[in-house]
Amino acid sequence: MSQYLSDQWIWPVIAAPFIGSFIGVLILRLPAGQPIGMVRSACPHCSVTLGATDLVPFASWLLLRGRCRHCSAALGAFYPGIEAASLVVAAWAVLVLPGPLSWIGCILGWTLLAAAMIDLRHLVLPDVLVLPLIPAGLAVHALIAPERLPDHAIGAVIGYLGFVAIRGLYGAIRRREGLGLGDAKLLAAAGAWVGWQGLPSVVFLGAMLTLAGLLAVAAAGGKVDAKGEIPFGPALALAFWIVWLHGPLVAV
């Protein structure tokens, strides 16, 4: 039992906040075209390079009360928020998935978290994050369930082409673009991981989560414009994650 807990809980959970800190850097730098791994973190206000003691997940932010050690400017809750979300991803994955699959689930969840946050902030799903999920999903299922690999390959194709068809239909009816190709690529990735059988659940859950998000914004007094740009990626990524972990809503 102790070995099970060690394998299933301790290492993914310990790693999660540190991975979350890196995901935060990725979210901020990737859309801006800034280098990711070769430049040390600095205060966004005074530009002083941060030391190791300033970058310990959760602890540094709490000890410094969310402020820069050097200029005392408020740093906001972005990094601890992403670190907490990464921890939730790890806990969720190890609770649901057995053995080494829990690590695969964590990596998938962390990648989806980064892509979803970038789409939420910048209305773009980066190819560098989304496209590798397609071969990765096929490779994982070639190892764990090779007899179902054709279902997942078909799912990737249907996910992309189906969304492109919906995008074209929407454009023909509304006379404007309303759905991005990034969403089509993300749905192709979802098909590679959940198979064609899981795609209807991903689309349905994604739509429901998007609607719930818009209702929450409206209830909080925010402006919801039917003609404005609405990121579908965050809800689609969460739906993708849920269906891969727990299966489709209705077995096919």
pLDDT tens string 11-51: 888 999 999 999 999 999 999 888 887 677 777 778 787 77
- What's the alpha-carbon Rg for the chain, to the nearest Å? 20
Side chain identity at residue 103, one-letter code: W
* Residue 174 pLDDT exceeds 80: no
What's residue 68's pLDDT?
A: 83
What's residue 1's pLDDT?
A: 39
Q: Which of 137, 131, 185 is nearest to 162 (CA)?
A: 185
Query: How many secondary structure helices (H) and strands (E) does the chain include?
Result: 10, 0
Q: What's the number of CA atoms in the CB half-sphere (13 Å) around residue 126?
A: 20
What's residue 105's pLDDT?
A: 94
To which residue do tokens 């969403």 refer?
183
What's residue 59's pLDDT?
A: 81
To which residue do tokens 């071969």 refer?
135
Q: What is the mean pLDDT of residues 102-126?
A: 95
Q: What are phi and psi of 8, to 5 degrees?
A: -85, -35
Side chain identity at residue 14, one-letter code: I
Q: For residue 74, give the 3-state DSSP assignment.
A: strand
Share of the chain above pLDDT 90, in %: 54
Q: Which ranges of the chain does DSSP label H, i.e. alpha helix?
A: 2-5, 11-29, 59-63, 78-96, 101-122, 127-130, 133-144, 149-174, 181-219, 233-246
Side chain identity at residue 175, one-letter code: R
**Model-level pTM?**
0.89
